[in-house]
Amino acid sequence: MRTDIFTHATTQRRNAQHPVKEAIKKIPSFSVAPLLCVSSMVLMLSGCTMAPSYTRPDAPVATSWPSGEAYKAETAKADQKPLAEVPWQEFFVEPRLQKVLELALVNNRDLRVAALTIEKTRAQYRIQRADLLPTINGTAGATIQRTPADLSASGQARISEQYNIGLGVSSYELDLFGRVQSLKDQALEQYLATEEAQKSTRISLIAETANAWLTLAADQERLKIARDTLTSQQEYYQLIKHRYEAGITSAVDLYQAQTAVDTARVDIARYTTLVAQDINVLTLLVGKALPAELLPKELDAVTALQELPLGLPSDQLLKRPDIMAAEHKLKSANANIGAARAAFFPRIGLSASFGTASADLTGLFQPGSLAWNFMPQISVPLFDTGRNLAGLDVSKADRDIAVAQYEKAIQTAFREVADALAQRGTINDQLAAQQSLTDATSESHKLSQARYDKGIDSYLNVIVAQRALYAAQQNLITVRLARLNNQTTTYKVLGGGAAK
């Protein structure tokens, strides 16, 4: 039934013309006070909900970072900037890497989807918030109807006309028990959770792109070592071949030299593939092909990343965007309980309209044409076969699930930081030991080659020393990459740059 249009019918035919412009000029000023009163009453009644008071759950982790042989002592400076406020530009100081990260933040499609999701949830929140206030519609209508003679009470055909203009509020819920307010709060927390999720995506993208760039640098250096090794082995193979043809050395030495050459060729092919795949990964993360000048050539040329001082778990973990997103989802589920509780109470709906109506278009704004209507309606749940009770149970279960997910997010974050700190506490010792091993194997290889050249040792010792040196060089690159990756991961898992 239409409640915002007021009409009067006439039983007499109108043959005269109806000048619309002249009628509009006669519009008098009329008050919309009834609608304003309704809006004022709504503002006074809105704002209270039946949602339970929110209390942040205690963090189910230790109050300090792990300690032990794998962890080094961490000291925080008095003037230390909160890690969430450390922008990535202050941490990733390599100029080429900074440009790559800037491109990724502009072109990455996952980050773009996260930003668009924020826009979507913001609009959904605005839709839900709009339900707190009445929606006022302006209406205008005309009905012209012909009644045949055999259906007319007078026995003659007739034409009836009706015109109306007005303002109306249709089916507005007076939120006495906070149902609409709770739904609005739920939508708000979902929107805030999406914002934090976007921050988390941004931090993960920065760390993933940086690690991909560093991996490319490491594989480029591995490929360079493999090519240098092949060059030197080919030269030595030719020397041994000449000696074999001259009868100075045996076929065993010749074939052992050939195995060294073939091993280097195999590694060149393997690392060439890895470099190409690294570039493909980086292109996907950045969202576009990178210019050659931004691609690293070797890991040695990469500027070291900045070290990160640590604070307490409660200071760092609770500021991580993914944990803050989980807490907003918990608050959203908590607000939904208020809406479920309000479903047990009556709903009061208001429909009202105010305007002018007449059987003649020129009479719409004449004295006496004012028309209004006010139709309150109340709905009381009496018997719903347990639907509302089940809805309340579902909302409470959702809240309990959100609590568990929030606690699991904290535990996962604590474990990620603990793993990063365990590697951080030992990686420098590992790097020093690997560097010393590489230096020692390099000297051993030189001595073995010199002894072979003088005829003291067999070529087998040279091959063993050369393979040990090659493996040590490759492992040194792996450890150096692991150290840089650990710094990047530590920045990520501690929520670095979350405030930016």
pLDDT tens per residue across span 356-374:
988 888 888 888 888 888 8
User: Is residue 2 pLDDT above 50, yes or no?
Assistant: no
Average pLDDT, the chain: 84
pLDDT above 90 (res 157): no
Q: Which residues fall within 8 angstroms of residue 480, CB to CB, at 6 or more apart? A: 218, 299, 431
Residues 141 and 191 in one domain: no
The pLDDT of residue 431 is above 90: yes
Residue 38 lies in a domain: no
What's the rounded mean pLDDT across residues 317-340? 94
**Cβ atoms of residues 356 and 371 within 8 Å:** yes
Q: Collapsing DSSP states into helix, strand and coil, what is residue 192?
A: helix
Quickly state the pLDDT bin for 18 (edges 50, 70, 90): very low
pTM for the whole thing?
0.81
Which pLDDT score, from 0 to 100, does residue 43 have? 47
The boundaries of the domain holding residue 413 are: 49-132+175-345+394-493
How many structural domains does the chain have?
2
> pLDDT at position 35, please?
45
Together in a domain, 255 and 126: yes
Residues 428 and 461 in one domain: yes
Identify any residues that bridge with 21 across adjacent strands, giving them in sequence order.
none
For residue 152, give both structure tokens. Answer: 């007319």
E strand or H helix at 424, and its extent?
helix 387-453
Task: Take residue 238 and report the two structure tokens written for it.
Answer: 């030719």
Residue type, 238: Q
Q: Is residue 389, in this structure, part of any structural domain at all?
A: no
- Any domain includes 297: yes
Same domain, 220 and 353: no
